[in-house]
A and B are shown apart, each in its own frame.
Chain A
Amino acid sequence: MTTPDVSSDAVLERHGLTRDEFGKIVSMLGRQPTLTELGIFSVMWSEHCSYKSSRVHLKTLPTTGPRVLQGPGENAGAVDIGDGLAAVFKIESHNHPSFIEPYQGAATGVGGIIRDIFTMGARPIALLNSLRFGSLDNPLVRRNMAGVVAGIGGYGNSIGIPTVGGEIAFDESYTGNPLVNVFCLGISKADEIIKGVASGVGNAVFYVGSKTGRDGIHGATMASAEFDEKSAEKRPAVQVGDPFMEKLLLEACLEVMRTDALVGIQDMGAAGLTCSTCEMGARGGAGVEIDVALVPQRETGMTAYEIMLSESQERMLLVAKQGREAEVQAIFEKWDLHAVRIGVVTADGLLRVKDHGTVVAEIPNTALTDEAPLYRRPFTEPAYLKEAQQLSLAALGTPAPAADVFRRLLASPTVASKRWVYRQYDHVVGTNTMVMPGMGCGVVRIKDTRRALALSVDCNGRFVYLDPFVGAQLAVAEASRNVACAGGLPIGATNCLNFGNPQKPDIMWQFVKAVEGMGAACRALDIPITGGNVSLYNETDGRGGLPTPVLGIVGLIEDSSTVVRRLFQQDGDVVILLGESRPELGGSEYLKTMHGLVQGLPPALDLAREAALQRVLIAGAAQRLFKSAHDCAEGGVAVTLAECCFSGTPGVDADLAATAAEAGFGDIATLFGESASRAVVSVAAGREREALDLAGKDGVPAAVIGRVGGGRVRLSVGGRRVIDEAVDAAERIWDEAIASRFERTVA
């Protein structure tokens, strides 16, 4: 074994550290780091762990509020939902691994976010996901998507946490950059939230869960003959998930947490043992000393470097109160798990790593966490923007007949039914699922209370591409509008910011503007962001996917018996359009599907109007006035009305007021324009006045546009019938669009 020169360009490059960062390490330590220390710094100072490019901007987001019990900085955020309970939730990405190995990449993404939730002492009760893929015409994309869906199902179904909702959108730009964002929510007692802290000098540090292997070790060590010939063997960079082990960990950890013998606990996710030890120490203002020789190992001959950097799945680090160790160990033994004492909490604030008693690393915890580098990366408006924002409808020629466009949009994978996907997810385990996938946003009841939670994840990357500031606001608006449609008051948000390479000033500009927009929208709608995740470098061969800041929103429904779903209920019910329709086709599904364009300005958004609309939706649900509610998104009000008829409801006959648009695009803009802050609701015949008054009181434009019934989707513009399609036929197009691509692949 040769000792490499840790300061050489080659070694620094493999660790993703700059010369300046190395200089900072030397000055913090007052000496050259050991190779193990360099590895520890490299993962903790990586973009993924340190948020070094994003942190200065994330700090501008609103994170506090009367309901916030835990904001950013812990394993997950938490908000008070009444009845002495807390909703603990977070969204996280697993984009890169899911591109390399779709099944395991997606599965371990699910595993990771579930651990974040139960680590806080909450029992996970719902999963959602937000996925992005390239075109389904591409067989590689289909294979990738099939693997991702199977992986999400494989993990969530086994561990027994229902996948109750989500969203999927398609765009060629995601071909080499699929996005796999997974959201998990759990419930805990509000005063029993567990934190990832190490404190109490002399308390034992325990390791529990899967053994540590060489999987997922920092890319730096993969071809590392010059570091250590014994570790030359290449290992997959993607970890392999074991939902059974995680299920045992989940049950055992929740049982241990009920004993009060625990000081703190953290899962070993990214950067594994390194991250969990130094973060717990830093949070508790304490030191942590461990001996890697005591860490259960799956392979022989692992070095301290490898053990500290391994990202083997399903592992937890916990600190037990002195004198209570046996109690903790006994609970793990019940579940056939072995809690192994690998170290102790110290007073010196250092992360001290020993290997058979010999110190191999000694670093102040805060040097790895709070004092990690921060960058204000330069940003400039992208060159593409001005041109992309120009849209001339006249240049598109005469539009196709509305009825043809309608069918094409129903068949667009972004609009079409996702049944082929969610049928592969167990969405009923736990017996809390009140709204089935495809019937609105996910809604889960909270057992032993009257309450329920409405959950939605949303983002339209096209809008963000065309105007990051407004696009991110629209993402907040859509996600919160979705929970409001079900009757949920938005009380908390988590974000997953998927962008390209932040070292490119135009990408950084997208990021900065999107964060500004998100912050402005969340402040205006009074929704604190309690945590989340940033995924940068979503680029392949220098080409990135659409900028995609996904919002996960939690909405509180006070009386679960008032939950509103998407479907029209009964012949004769009155259909009302809330909000204002303008001729806005910029960034629309229409332009993409019919003309292959991502062009124009996204729909304008007035946050005060959005807030008013959501108040009306929530009040209409609570008063049992609205029998159905569905927001207008991709495909405009025509698609919204059709979706309210799927599956098998009585149909709709509606007449929309024409919106003026240039060059003969009036009908198209009226039917398929994607103006923000709109929703379609239905009320029992005779209650329309009540609904219009409710909207009017809050200044929300509202118009009766038609009635439920007739077995057909009949849409007129200004009294002129333009679409007349049997519900069954329309639904078949919508239902088979995605499934048929995969059935063909399988056959």
Chain B
Amino acid sequence: MKFAVVVFPGSNSDHDAHYAVSHPLGEEARFVWHKDTSLGDADAVILPGGFAHGDYLRTGAIARFSPIMADVRRFADAGGPVLGICNGFQVLLEAGLLPGAMLRNDRLHFRCEFVNVRVEQNDTPFTAACRPGQRLLMPIAHGEGNYYADAAVLEQLERNRQVLFRYVNAAGEETRDANPNGSVRNIAGLCNEARNVVGLMPHPERAAELAVGGADGLVMLQSAVHWFTRRAPAAVAVARSSSLSA
């Protein structure tokens, strides 16, 4: 399976994503420069963490105008799996590929630590190999991860089962203390209505090996392989061809 890792100027977890895909996961990873206009023959796309374009204006606000984003949108619209991690999630929000917005963390500090999230749904390309309710320990590292959406959007997210991850404590409970940034309803990650575009603040690619703190995040990448090989190669083929023909 071929993963494209989009590199924006200021991406800093691009190498982490590339390494997690190519080493612990053992699939093909390649960088795609933000000024490129085609994702090529990628089967899945990762928008990595970092501070694209310096996060000037707002996090992710300028990255949405990068040339590659037109093809990312086309790929997503055609059903291709897209994963936005941290800053990549922020880019997806700014690009309108996912609903809602990010505020500064409630304590106003950048926060880096391992947190627990609970997998709420396992019918997406990046949670397909998870058990429902599975708890994953992954690091966060952000200053603006305080997810916000208005009541109508939240209601829609819940109704469509689009909330994929919530911050929980070690016992799996959704508590205020377990919420590291003030996100509404402890939301740590979500998907679009079509369920192929996924964004989250924790870093699964940085939790893909026991040697460096934990391997819980690897299951998200394995999910993509699982989903790709067993469930929807046809859908990806469609997404890919639409991209190539563009």
Contact = CB atoms under 8 A, between A and B. Distances in A.
Interface of A: 150, 153-154, 157-160, 242-245, 247-248, 251, 334-336, 422-434, 436, 445, 447, 560-561, 746
B71 interface: no
Given A244-B54, A429-B206, A431-B19, A160 B13 contact: yes
Most B CB atoms within 10 A — which of A158, A427, A428? A428
A686 to B, nearest CB: 26
Interface in B16-44: 16, 19-20, 33, 35
Interface in B33-66: 33, 35, 49-51, 53-56
Contacts, number: 91
B111 A424 contact: yes
Contacts of B208: 431
A424 B107 CA distance: 11
B110 A153 contact: yes
Contacts of A426: 110, 112, 141
A433 B9 contact: no
Given A244-B56, A445-B211, A159 B112 contact: no
B145 interface: no
Interface in B104-122: 107-113
Interface of B: 9-10, 12-13, 15-16, 19-20, 33, 35, 49-51, 53-56, 107-113, 139, 141, 143, 203, 205-206, 208-209, 211-213
Given A158-B51, A244-B53, A561-B211, A431 B112 contact: no
B211 A434 contact: yes
Interface of chain B, helix or strand or loop or mixed?
mixed
A106 to B, nearest CB: 14
Nearest to A146: B109
A247 B213 contact: no
Contacts of A561: 211
A186 to B, nearest CB: 14
B85 to A, nearest CB: 12
B10 A423 contact: no
Contacts of B206: 428-429, 431
Contacts of A560: 211
Given A428-B112, A428-B141, A244 B9 contact: yes
Given A244-B56, A247-B12, A428 B139 contact: yes
Contacts of B205: 431
Contacts of B212: 428, 431-434, 445
B112 A423 contact: yes
A335 B110 CA distance: 27
B16 A430 contact: yes
Nearest to A430: B16
Contacts of A150: 109-110
A554 to B, nearest CB: 19
A638 to B, nearest CB: 28
Given A244-B10, A431-B205, A431-B212, A424 B112 contact: yes
A430 B15 contact: yes
B109 A431 contact: no
Contacts of A244: 9-10, 51, 53-56
Nearest to B35: A334
Nearest to A242: B54
A334 B139 CA distance: 32
Contacts of B107: 746
B113 A247 contact: no
A429 B205 CA distance: 10
A652 B20 CA distance: 38
Contacts of B15: 430
Given A244-B9, A244-B51, A428 B213 contact: yes
Contacts of A434: 211-213
9 contacts: A157-B112, A157-B143, A244-B54, A245-B54, A247-B12, A426-B112, A431-B212, A433-B213, A445-B211
Given A158-B51, A428-B213, A447-B19, A335 B111 contact: no
Given A426-B141, A429-B206, A436 B213 contact: yes
B50 A160 contact: yes
A626 B206 CA distance: 28
A251 to B, nearest CB: 8
A422 B141 CA distance: 11
A746 B106 CA distance: 12
Shortest 3 CB-CB distances between A and B: which pairs?
A160-B12, A244-B54, A426-B141
Nearest to A426: B141
Contacts of A432: 212
Contacts of B110: 150, 153-154, 157, 424-426
A248 B9 contact: yes
Nearest to A154: B110
A153 B20 CA distance: 25
Contacts of A243: 51, 54
Most A CB atoms within 10 A — which of B9, B20, B49, B51? B9
Nearest to B141: A426
Given A244-B56, A445-B211, A157 B10 contact: no
A424 B211 contact: no
Most B CB atoms within 10 A — which of A335, A425, A429, A561? A429
Contacts of B111: 423-424
A697 B212 CA distance: 34
B9 A424 contact: no
A561 B209 CA distance: 12
A247 B211 contact: no
A476 to B, nearest CB: 29
A156 B173 CA distance: 33
A334 B35 CA distance: 9
Nearest to A561: B211
B141 A247 contact: no
B228 to A, nearest CB: 23
A647 B20 CA distance: 28
Contacts of B35: 334
A334 B34 CA distance: 11
Contacts of B55: 158, 244
